[in-house]
Amino acid sequence: MTSQLDQLKKIGTTVVCDSGDFATIDKYKPQDATTNPSLILAASKKEEYAKLMDVAIEYGKQHGKDVEEKVDATLDRLLVEFGKEILKIVPGKVSTEVDARFSFDYQASIDKALHIIDIYKAEGIDKSRVLIKLASTWEGIKAAHTLQSEHGVNCNLTLMFSLPQAIAAAEAGAYLISPFVGRILDWYKASTKKDYSPEEDPGVKSVQAIFNYYKKYDYKTIVMGASFRNKGEITELAGCDYLTISPNLLEELYNSKDDLPQKLIASDAQKLDIPRKSYISNEGLFRFDFNEETMAVEKLREGISKFAADAITLKDILRKKMGY
């Protein structure tokens, strides 16, 4: 019997590695890789990545009018350096995140995204190999719409915890979405003080609902389940378009020979009775329906704050290394 990792790939789920650590990425032969400020922060503390820091710092010192601009430039270049190295390993795309501070700023999100794409271009990497990660706020979704439709820049809408976010993202023409599974489970476990089997896991159910909605209404946006707490969450989503998985859970799948049946089937979703909604031209309705989802509101706020805090920590490390 082949490993569950190979079975997952055979079912048609594209496996993505959720890591900034090149050595672990290479082992599991994923199609793509995703990064975020937290993953880059963890990887940047390892000695083997010091040379990437050095390149970024050299770049930063030559860009920007003052210390803050130079540190910002250094961080942007560091993200691209990690992306560049990852693209030597994966055949597909890498996701690079826009600073979470811009999550509520439509224009700043677009400007930063285009700037990141320009740095990649200067390094000889075409925009077709990069996904720009934006938080699934109203402003992030609208920025993705503009980046996709006017600039041909593919976007990954992340920190997604609800169907309203997913519907707006699909209407915006986002290339890919990252609905979070484990963080939803975290919220429900803390809220209800109970444990959930993989079958009843509210994070799994959230991704199933999004997958079914997209397939029912033939949206082309890729559904990429993310943020897993255990292997059971992954096996319950076998058949999802993409799954981005941390190295420790990839290792569990790699070592398991258990049978892995397909759970999500697009043709089955088309038979379901699911009401259609539209948000892309109605900000008020989007905000109201999203606001009704207490878990999603709290987890989005928390996620933005955490990514922003890790970006600040990373900048502090860079500032010290730059001698400022």
Catalytic residues: 133
Report the alpha-carbon angle 299-300-303, nearest 5: 80
Taking CA 45 as the corner, what is the angle to CA 53 and CA 304, rounded to the nearest 5 degrees? Answer: 90
What number of other Cβ atoms are within 10 A of residue 193's Cβ? 7
Quote the CA–CA distance of 69 and 149 in Å, as a whole number.
29
H-only helix segments in the chain? 4-11, 22-28, 37-44, 50-61, 67-86, 106-122, 138-151, 163-171, 182-192, 202-216, 231-235, 247-255, 266-269, 283-291, 294-321
Question: What residues contact 2, with CB distance under 8 A and at least 6 apart?
Answer: 10, 257
> DSSP class of residue 226?
B
Rounded CA-CA distance 85/128 in Å is 16
The answer to whether the beta carbons of residues 184 and 245 sit under 8 Å apart is: no
